[in-house]
Chain A
């Protein structure tokens, strides 16, 4: 199981992985936008050339005055057949480090479905995220989202 920085040629594999795992999907241009704007932040888990997990991350563009720079996880998922390996955690950690080091991100945010117990467990219990807010009707199908946040202050060099 190889964990490394995402390359441009990985993007179709990430897109395929995303389509198999999650109902929130994106066209290739959006993946290119992430990779070509923040090339240091997205990572993949790869086995024998196949993308089995990924994290697609960015720095938040709409930063209001006084707000510190912060990272945002657009999407993260691992194929079901590759779960229980701690891949999501490893992907997240690599991405967070880059956010803190390269962009001086103060914290990283993400959204998760209220009903997604597995993801909640990962973010809250394993990675230390806290719930900042509930965003009602965030998802296309109307489900609420937990807006979660993790401080990166102790990661910055």
Chain B
């Protein structure tokens, strides 16, 4: 008679019951063929035995027959809804699919029927952590500790759970108890060391600095904590907090260990009452004296000397700067400029830098045709020219930069840095083709260097030479990958994916652009999934402090600039798709794969065929190979991105992409503009208004914001009464909108006022023109408006000129060529305003095979 509560269909007679135990053992040992066979034996007699069906399904999943397996598992559950084995199996499979929410539900069900099952509890704990269900996690960890108090990790895991819900006091108690009862800790145990460091951190976070120090010192003395750097760092920090004199010694010790660490200088100075980020006139001299002492003590370290430059002012700055610059230029260090760039925020320092550098150059200059006189150090000469080129280009003086570089190149034609920077200057000046050519020349000087290769690829992408970029990247990607692009995507190269996506967008290939932006989204999804295994691993390894840091990082993962940019750019495409659905069908008719893509497609097809043939030969069942619970990544079935482009509900997809940004990119105006564009089209007027307010808070005069404010009022006013959302919404809009756009001002007036106030800004001129057009102004009027951007008193950035040109093209203006020609005059170095007919030649000139050929071809094009 089976115990109460157990369905009769679960109980097996002794023979089959024994067989079932065998199935479980076979599964544990991953003897999949035997497990399958045994399961089938049971099922022959008992085809509806839920638990066996589930186990068979699990085994099939491990053998790669995932769809079959999942079906069986679902069947099995239906036959035995109260079996913890069935729910556990279901949870395992869902976990393998990374469907963590559902997996946790299954595990919770399983626990209802076997509440002290350690395996299930442990898995549930991992899922709870992943999903940030920290309250439930605490309970689960309590249960596990109760069941196995002799297992050290269970204590630590409970402390971690308390830390995660913010109950540091309880976490502390758990650790104290653990430390009291733990036995047989070997000498020099790294794991125990990490536990103690975790304990110290908790005490610090609780503000119990004296206790933290006591624990730290005792453990350091008994050599229970073995991480010397961590000990001294904690000590220095705590002693500073407590205002103890020994703090100075601690910071000093840290600096002796690593004199290149800025945090240590900060700490030392802070201990003396000097805030490195906010030095006052009163303590400036003292700070400089201290840094001078360190400069003498640590002769090889640049940090104290560089920090002094940040703090010093006036003549003191000049006196410190000159030898600093000299020594670094003499050494031939390429990064002098980037090192000093932060100082440029201070106009007087900028001037000093320029005058000192030019004085230096004057002392080194010699006749270009004569050989370098022996009194002059050629290295210093070249790098001074290079430095000044970077200096002038940074300040927008591109012509001057080019002249300096050309002098340097004549002197030393084999230095890749000179070619690289010349390319960069051209890029800034708006000549992406010239830029790509020069970077290519740099690359050819050292074909072994991947850095030069990567730059070349990037610059080709910027010039719209997408296939050529792939060729270059392919010199360093894995040969057995389907394509260079695929390898870079597999290796999660955010730089590559961003540049390629942007390049595709620039040439109007929305499908491929969207595909690459979505690939970036997937990289971040993968980063999020990566943490899962560490929920168990880090507790076993006892590396708790960094584990907690990792969880924090994961929580703000999508604040990464690559994600923010991808989300904003993708949402723009999706909004355009919504506004103009014919874009998708138009793209389909024009879609063609590039040569590289066709090659990749062929290669992938070949590889897939090979795999199919091999599996046919091997046969489905005849292998014991454990494919695990995670499905292998799906093959790319959308090589030209058309499927993605034509997917339904573009606005919903855009909203999903943008969702993290309202929290993680809340100081980014572009993000709020993107959020607005999606929200207003989804008729979420409050969300749209909130986005406008946030953008306004950050930059009240933003041109893009202006366009949207006009857009919102226009949309809102044109809503009929039946279309208007609830009274509450209407009320909020009515009270909030006037702060952005006063009620009594008409939209035309508002636009005119904005233009008047900001007529010296090219981007504002464009924004007002766009708003005008949206309000129905005639095309001639709009055209005339943007042409004002060319006036001498208007600050017109290259980017804005390009945008205006694109706008004129969009409204099919007959004055487009006129504008283009005017821009050509205004930006003489730029190739972005060349007539379309010149494009093929420009593209060709950007890709050179040999430097010799390059010189030849340059002469051809010019003549």
- Check if A and B associate: yes
Q: Is there an interface contact between B454 and A19, defined as CB atoms closer than 8 Å? A: yes
Closest to B554 in A: A8
**Residue with the greatest number of chain B CB neighbours at <10 A, chosen from A12, A52, A84:** A12
Chain B residues in 8 Å Cβ range of A32: 530-531, 534, 550
Partner-contacting stretch, out of B103-111, B366-374, B537-545, B840-848: B537-545
Chain B residues in 8 Å Cβ range of A2: 260-263, 303
Chain B residues in 8 Å Cβ range of A40: 227, 229-230
Q: Is there an interface contact between B263 and A4, defined as CB atoms closer than 8 Å? A: yes
Asked if A126 is an interface residue, CB under 8 A from chain B, the answer is: no
Asked if B332 is an interface residue, CB under 8 A from chain A, the answer is: yes
Q: For the complex, what is the distance from the CA of A26 to the CA of B493, rounded to whole Å?
A: 10
A137: shortest Cβ distance to chain B, in Å?
A: 14
Q: Is there an interface contact between B491 and A25, defined as CB atoms closer than 8 Å? A: yes
The interface bits of chain B over 547-567 (1 if a CB of A lies within 8 angstroms of the residue's CB, else 0) are 101101100000010000000
Q: For the complex, what is the distance from the CA of A115 to the CA of B537, rounded to whole Å?
A: 38
Known: A7-B549, A8-B553, A32-B550. A84 touches B534 (CB 8 A): no
Chain B residues in 8 Å Cβ range of A63: none
Q: Is there an interface contact between A47 and B531, defined as CB atoms closer than 8 Å? A: no
Chain A residues in 8 Å Cβ range of B454: 19-20
Q: For the complex, what is the distance from the CA of A15 to the CA of B560, rounded to whole Å?
A: 14
B325: shortest Cβ distance to chain A, in Å?
A: 15
A100: shortest Cβ distance to chain B, in Å?
A: 10
Chain B residues in 8 Å Cβ range of A80: 334, 449, 451-452
B422: shortest Cβ distance to chain A, in Å?
A: 15
Q: Is there an interface contact between A85 and B553, defined as CB atoms closer than 8 Å? A: no
**In-complex Cβ contact of B493 among A9, A19, A85, A140 (8 A):** A19
Asked if B338 is an interface residue, CB under 8 A from chain A, the answer is: yes
Asked if B837 is an interface residue, CB under 8 A from chain A, the answer is: no
Number of CB contacts from chain A to chain B under 8 A:
133
The interface bits of chain A over 60-82 (1 if a CB of B lies within 8 angstroms of the residue's CB, else 0) are 00000000000000000001111
Q: For the complex, what is the distance from the CA of A82 to the CA of B336, rounded to whole Å?
A: 9
A94: shortest Cβ distance to chain B, in Å?
A: 6
The interface bits of chain A over 1-32 (1 if a CB of B lies within 8 angstroms of the residue's CB, else 0) are 11111011100100110011111011111001
Q: Is there an interface contact between A1 and B450, defined as CB atoms closer than 8 Å? A: no
**Residue with the greatest number of chain B CB neighbours at <10 A, chosen from A8, A79, A97, A98:** A8
Chain B residues in 8 Å Cβ range of A21: 450-451
Q: Is there an interface contact between B450 and A23, defined as CB atoms closer than 8 Å? A: yes
Closest to B260 in A: A3
Closest to B341 in A: A48
Q: Is there an interface contact between B335 and A36, defined as CB atoms closer than 8 Å? A: no
Give the total of B residues in contact with A, Cβ under 8 Å.
Answer: 64
Closest to A140 in B: B478
Q: Is there an interface contact between A1 and B339, defined as CB atoms closer than 8 Å? A: yes
Closest to A15 in B: B492
Q: For the complex, what is the distance from the CA of A96 to the CA of B557, rounded to whole Å?
A: 30
**In-complex Cβ contact of B339 among A22, A47, A90, A98 (8 A):** A47
Q: Is there an interface contact between B334 and A81, defined as CB atoms closer than 8 Å? A: yes
Chain A residues in 8 Å Cβ range of B553: 8-9
Known: A83-B334, A141-B479. A19 touches B495 (CB 8 A): yes
Chain B residues in 8 Å Cβ range of A82: 334-335, 338
**In-complex Cβ contact of B257 among A28, A48, A97 (8 A):** A97
Chain A residues in 8 Å Cβ range of B300: 86
Closest to A29 in B: B530
Q: Is there an interface contact between B261 and A3, defined as CB atoms closer than 8 Å? A: yes
Chain B residues in 8 Å Cβ range of A20: 450-451, 454, 495
**In-complex Cβ contact of A84 among B193, B331, B342, B493 (8 A):** B331
**In-complex Cβ contact of B190 among A83, A85, A102 (8 A):** A102
Closest to A80 in B: B451
The interface bits of chain B over 483-497 (1 if a CB of A lies within 8 angstroms of the residue's CB, else 0) are 000001011111110
Closest to B496 in A: A19
Asked if B645 is an interface residue, CB under 8 A from chain A, the answer is: no
Known: A3-B260, A9-B553, A85-B333. A47 touches B450 (CB 8 A): no
The interface bits of chain B over 472-486 (1 if a CB of A lies within 8 angstroms of the residue's CB, else 0) are 000011110000000
* Contacting residues of chain A (116-130) with chain B, CB-CB under 8 angstroms: none
A30: shortest Cβ distance to chain B, in Å?
A: 9
Q: For the complex, what is the distance from the CA of A77 to the CA of B28, rounded to whole Å?
A: 42
Asked if B526 is an interface residue, CB under 8 A from chain A, the answer is: yes
Q: Is there an interface contact between B550 and A36, defined as CB atoms closer than 8 Å? A: yes
Known: A36-B546, A157-B228. A85 touches B257 (CB 8 A): no
Q: Is there an interface contact between B261 and A4, defined as CB atoms closer than 8 Å? A: yes
Known: A1-B339, A47-B339. A101 touches B538 (CB 8 A): no
Q: Is there an interface contact between B333 and A39, defined as CB atoms closer than 8 Å? A: no
CB pairs A–B below 8 angstroms (22 shown): A1-B260, A1-B306, A4-B258, A4-B263, A8-B553, A20-B451, A20-B454, A27-B526, A32-B550, A35-B550, A40-B229, A47-B339, A48-B341, A48-B342, A80-B334, A80-B449, A81-B335, A81-B417, A102-B190, A102-B228, A141-B479, A157-B228
Known A16-B494, A35-B546, A94-B258; 16 more pairs at CB < 8 Å: A1-B306, A3-B260, A16-B493, A22-B450, A27-B490, A27-B526, A28-B527, A29-B533, A32-B550, A36-B538, A39-B543, A40-B229, A40-B230, A79-B451, A82-B335, A103-B190
4 cross-chain pairs, A with B, having the tightest CB-CB distances, nearest first: A3-B260, A80-B451, A39-B546, A25-B491
